[in-house]
Amino acid sequence: MKFNFNEEICRLKTNSTKWDSIDKEFGCTEVLPLWIADMDLACAPAIVNALTKRAQHPIYGYGHIPEEFFESAINWADKRFNTTIERDWLTTVPGVVPALNLAIESFSKVGDEVIIQPPVYYPFFSTIKNNGRNLVENPLVEQDGYYYMDLDDLEKKITSKTKMLILCSPANPVGRVWTKEELLALTAICKKHNIIIIADEIHADLVYEKGTHTPFYSLSEDAANMSITFMSPSKTFNIAGLFSSLAVIPNKNLMTEFTHAILRASLENLNIFGIEAVIAAYNEGDEWLDELLIHLKGNAEYINDYLSKHIPEVKMKLTEATYLGWLDFRELGLIGDELNNFLIKDAKLGLNDGRVFGSDGEGFMRLNYACTRKTLEEAMSRLDKAVRNLKVNA
């Protein structure tokens, strides 16, 4: 391959949340951190070159967002998803989580209901609660490690106060790529009850089978008219720290309301380096991403194979998207904090506790495998040894 995704790069003392806050997060400096969703892999050279060139100009004032920024996103959607985005459908946001807050504020009132589908990205919970809205859970249904939407349960939980549904597509942490049929069925229910769908598609580029992800704005005319879709190269190209994302809003009325919310919050500006990184990623990142996906899929297959052969009590369904494994530890019989403590103290692994993704995450852990194979080998070795000791001492 042209790009080396097994190069070991030390991130300590770079103000990395993942590596430099281990003690604060896990109460232990010896854990191998495989938690927060960024990659321990170098960015695409095109991005590094663009940022280096911009950094060489010694003035870092307020940034202007050029039309090339929007054109790069439009062209990317055409190349990767064979979909059309009109220029007036696009606006910028500094990140998807701030954008979720803006959407909740724009299209609901205090006391209204917002639906999510756990296990799901944990900031969904806090953004709803922190804005004084009522959280309604429509849990996904698990069958042998594979997750489905429970649309019957969804219909039962909708009331006159239900105004929004936040969709994670592809799904984090369970790694599902929703089929077109599933999304159309969801759209029909939400249209019937006049519910706006907010689609978080930050992992859309990290899909292993090309052509399986359907951007929500492209699903149907109804879907486009009743939704806001967030897209970003931040997870795809490992530039989350540059805080530059986009919202796709075909409905002019929704766009007007959302734009007003951006201005009220003074969030209309982007990081000047983020602007350059987005343009470089979308214009020049195809080849790098194609090779990255090969590396990530190989890592997922390695974990799945290792667990099957050496630690069958722990299971991980191969994900359809993202670089996040959803590990099932339930057969170990560790309850509540016992599992978390076992992984931190005995296995010396820093993973995301499944419970933060919703109550259905009990007994699960999220593992970030966007790293070198050597790192994963070390992680699996630590886990193997810890589970063996656990069984001996049981």
* 355-364 confidence digits (pLDDT tens): 999 999 999 9
In CATH terms, is domain 58-284 a member of 1.10.1040.10? Answer: no
To the nearest 10 degrees (0 to 180), the angle between helices 67-81 and 272-284 is: 30
Instruction: Tell which CATH architecture fits domain 17-44+286-393.
Output: Alpha-Beta Complex (3.90)
Give the domain ranges of the chain: 17-44+286-393, 58-284
User: Can you give the pTM of this predicted structure?
Assistant: 0.96
Residues 5-38: pLDDT tens digits? 999 999 999 999 999 999 999 999 999 999 999 9
Per-residue pLDDT band at 393 (split at 50, 70, 90): confident
Residues 281-332: pLDDT tens digits? 999 999 999 999 999 999 999 999 999 999 999 999 999 999 999 999 999 9
**Residue 394: pLDDT over 90:** no
Residues 64-117: pLDDT tens digits? 999 999 999 999 999 999 999 999 999 999 999 999 999 999 999 999 999 999
Distance CA 295, CA 272 (A): 30
Q: What are the φ/ψ torsions at residue 104 (nearest 5 degrees)?
A: -60, -45
Alpha helices per DSSP H over 35-95: 45-55, 67-81
Among 245, 236, 238, 241, which Cα is nearest to 269's? 245
Per-residue pLDDT band at 39 (split at 50, 70, 90): very high
DSSP element (H, E) containing 287: helix 286-310
Which percentage of the chain shows pLDDT scores above 90?
Answer: 98
**Residue 189: pLDDT over 90:** yes
Per-residue pLDDT band at 1 (split at 50, 70, 90): confident
